Amino acid sequence: MRILVTGGCGFIGSALVRKLVAEGHDVLNLDALTYAGDERSIAEIANAQGYQFRKVDIADAGAVASAFADFNPHRVFHLAAESHVDRSIDGPGIFIRTNLVGTSVMLDSAREYWRGLDELARAAFRFVHVSTDEVYGTLGFDDPAFTEDTPYAPNSPYAASKAGADHLARAWVETYGLPVIITNCSNNYGPFQHPEKLIPTVIRTALSGGDIPVYGKGENIRDWLYVSDHVAGLMAAADAGEVGRKYNFGGDAERTNIDLVRTLCRLLDDKRPSPKPYEDQIRFVADRPGHDMRYAVNSARARAELGWAPSVTLDSGLSETVDWYLAHPDWLSRDAAEIARLGLGR
């Protein structure tokens, strides 16, 4: 197949691109290469037959339309987004531009392209819009997990911009018939994640001997999903998902932030011992505004309709992730000054 991926130099997007290329698909990767994109994440397939890259801002309608016309995709995976909560608090405007305006440009370009296809190609075309569980807001400790029918209640500028993008995607199905599938995922982790995010931050600061920052008292709970499991879910949604339907992907692996951080410290104690336990470096810092208390994702629909289930346990996934970052110290040192200024990610 010919598959267009937006945000293919980001964390999840690059994992998807690498998988698609490995399976023999022709891939066009559109990425603006902002702070969130890194060409090193796709270096291993950069010269592969069938792989193409274009530096494109998805809010640039002309560039996006040209990509559709030149590449003639069978499928689109739309992952390009501003996704760092702390950055959205500091500057929400770029999140609105990329996540809302950019998504509207992608949907409209896809619609114009799709309308020009023959009947069989129109029937086979799919546009997978990739979103987050943060659109649902926050859960209490005893609340049931988010389902696809949970009302939207975003609490950060990032989450609000993604919620708006989800609504646009749904509207393009209902109004124009564009064959869109919407997916929402829990916290991803694994190799090539941006160094601002929680797990790389813990590993980097622990190894440097600095303070390991934890927001509040570390009681916030997240459901963790290994990135390769998420990629498998996205591909299953494109293959077997029902047009206009939403699918949640979660790892069934809830953990408080402080427990996760302590687990990472203990893994580092085993894999890269230091004179004293890494847990001694943990420091609690002022909580960020609007910090959601708990995310948990019910993936029953994806399991039943797509035949998908997470295959990597949190303990094994964290161990593999720590191994990868220890083997790639250059990744953790990237943009150190800017990372230090911003502090923890999501």
pLDDT digits 0-9 by tens, 73-99: 999 999 999 877 778 787 888 888 999
DSSP secondary structure letter of residue 152: P
Tokens 């010919």 correspond to 2
Taken in order of first residue, the domains within the chain and their CATH numbers are: 2-193+225-255+292-312 (3.40.50.720)
Tokens 């975003």 correspond to 154
pLDDT band at 304 (very low <50, low <70, confident <90, very high): very high
pLDDT band at 135 (very low <50, low <70, confident <90, very high): very high
pLDDT at position 119 is 97
Q: Which of 26, 31, 38, 133 is catalytic?
A: 133
Compute the residue count for the chain. 346
| Tokens of residue 151, six digits | 């009302």
Provide the b/e sequence for 160-172 (b: ≥16 CB within 10 Å).
bbbbbbbebbeeb
Q: Which of 57, 134, 196, 223 is catalytic?
A: 134
Residue type, 110: A
State residue 263 phi and psi, 5-degree precision.
-60, -45
- For this structure, is 247 an active site residue? no
Q: Which of 113, 158, 247, 325 is catalytic?
A: 158
- For this structure, is 229 an active site residue? no
Share of the chain above pLDDT 90, in %: 87
- For this structure, is 133 an active site residue? yes
